[in-house]
Amino acid sequence: MPPTTDFTFPTYHQSYPPFYTLQPNHQTLTSQLRKWSRLIQRYARHHSLFKLSLPATIDSPLFKNVSLKKRLSLQDATKVLDWMCTDEGGRRAEKIVEGGGGGGGGGGAGVYWIWWKRPEEWGEEIVGWVERTGQKGVVLTLYELTAGEGSRGEEFWGMDGEVLRRALAGLVRKGRAQVFGGEGEEGVKFF
């Protein structure tokens, strides 16, 4: 996980030990889950993270506060991310099932997509960039979109390939784009 020296954690993460233990009262727990969700999304956005692996990040500064000597347990972190996968959690996470597909919550700790922007929101952002740069009707490679010099500085620069494919699939369904070629050689044309 990237270093967090330039990320500013909220006060409750820095100075409120009960934040690291999921509370039994439903109303308090819901508030706590919302705060964890916002924190995870902000952290992921700041570091351009699209996936979060709980086993690999449970001891990172995201879930652990060294000065308080507190960390969210793996079990509780799983509950937070599983909650983020629900309608109540805004579907801001999605559990990645073995084989690369998405799935619902449940099951032990694992790897999750973190939707600080959902695929359809990414699609709209990419279309906005295409329109701003006058590239409607031009075939662009997926590489150009996420790693090319023309897109450097855009929030989608460096995007995970699977997230990009999902964003483009939504645009294709709406008739706003067409994807050409095979894996590794894909191009996309925006309408």
Domains 11-114 and 119-190 share a fold: yes
- pLDDT tens, position by position, 40-78: 999 999 999 999 999 999 999 999 999 999 999 999 999
- The pTM is what? 0.86
Structure tokens at 133: 């740069």
- pLDDT tens, position by position, 93-147: 999 986 544 444 444 569 999 999 999 999 999 999 999 999 999 999 999 999 9
Cα gap 91→104, rounded to integer Å: 10
Query: What class is the 11-114 domain?
Result: mainly alpha
DSSP state letters, 98-146 = TTS-EE-S-SSS-EEEE-SS-HHHHHHHHHHHHHHTT-TT-EEEHHHHH
CATH among 3.40.50.12780, 1.10.10.10, 2.40.160.20, 3.20.20.70 for 119-190: 1.10.10.10
